[in-house]
Chains A and B, each alone.
Chain A
Amino acid sequence: MSVAGRNLRPGRVALLGMLVAVGLVLNLVDRMIPSPVPFARLGLANVVTLVALVAFGLPEALVVTGVRVTVAALVVGTFGGPAFLLALAGGLASALAMGALVRTSMPPLGVVGVSLVGAAVHNVTQLAVVAALFVGATAATGLLPAALLVSAPAGFATGIVAWLVLNRLPLDGDAAARRDLKLRRESS
């Protein structure tokens, strides 16, 4: 099957579904990790988006992220609420930004750099949505430096995890070739 020129072999569809499932679990694990500041989260589920971007591409990553965020909201019970809106906006915006980087600047940029930008875009997008819908621009801009600051360690950590996963993930065919190209890796 092929949609918009994308190869949707059953094996690949299964792998994407698995990425969604892993993302859901990571999302729940993420909630259990204590955080020094209430609004700072590790964003572990971003690992899945990064893997989808590097192994497959932007359309796949957007689908995986969108489905993951929606199902996670249904599981946790925030579907349709402000938290869901924030998660969706942040998730899709960071996937788009990271997709552009993976396409244009990788290499020399590595997974960690892409993840850092993704984390920053995620947090700034959420703040922008909060400003637009809830508190107004002045209150939100006060939090902008904090939002950027907490994104650095979170993006770095998830980038490292994504790098480790990508290097160990058994891929074949196009996905393996794409991964090796993006990570400047010797072909396996």
Chain B
Amino acid sequence: MVTGADRLVLYVLLGLAAVLFAAGGAGGTGTDVRIRGESFEQVAPLHERATFEVEGPLGTTVVVVEDGTASIVSSPCPHQVCVGMGAVSGAGQATVCVPNRVVVTVEGAGPAPTDAVTR
């Protein structure tokens, strides 16, 4: 049913996957955070505690960076989706307040985490 050569193929395949896993490392950890508003743009290190107040068309959006995560803690928008979004930390992740035109993206080396799955 399974020949010796078959087994060899299985081991080579698993070995290759293991080597690639080791080579790839964790990857995708964020190092910086970029905060953009209508007339505001700033890049800050993700691992330094800081608070940013960004002025938008509706008022002031407060972005807090701490412990390697960034989150919008308050915003004058009607639905509070951005606040509900919580904290982002991985490279390529973002939290956005659309009504107040504030975009917070995490930047960093490595591949971005998956954001789409098709089947």
Bitwise interface map of B from 87 to 119 toward A, beta carbon under 8 Å scored 1, else 0: 000000000000000000000001110101111
Query: From residue 1 to 54 of chain B, which have CB atoms closer than 8 A to chain A?
Result: 1-6, 8-10, 13-14, 16-18, 20-21, 24, 27-28
Interface size in chain A (residues, C-beta < 8 A): 37
Whether the Cβ atoms of A113 and B3 lie closer than 8 Å is yes
Whether the Cβ atoms of B27 and A142 lie closer than 8 Å is yes
Report the nearest B residue to A144, measured CB to CB.
B20
Task: Please name all residues of chain A whose beta carbon is closer than 8 Å to the beta carbon of B16 when the two chains form the complex.
Answer: 148
Whether the Cβ atoms of A145 and B2 lie closer than 8 Å is no
Interface residues of A (CB under 8 A from B): 38-39, 41, 82-83, 86, 105, 107-113, 116-117, 120, 134-135, 138-146, 148-149, 151-152, 155-156, 159-160, 163
Given contacts A120-B13, A148-B13, A160-B1, 18 further A-B pairs with CB under 8 A are A86-B118, A107-B3, A108-B3, A109-B3, A112-B10, A113-B8, A113-B10, A116-B13, A138-B111, A141-B24, A143-B111, A144-B20, A145-B18, A146-B17, A148-B17, A148-B20, A152-B13, A160-B2
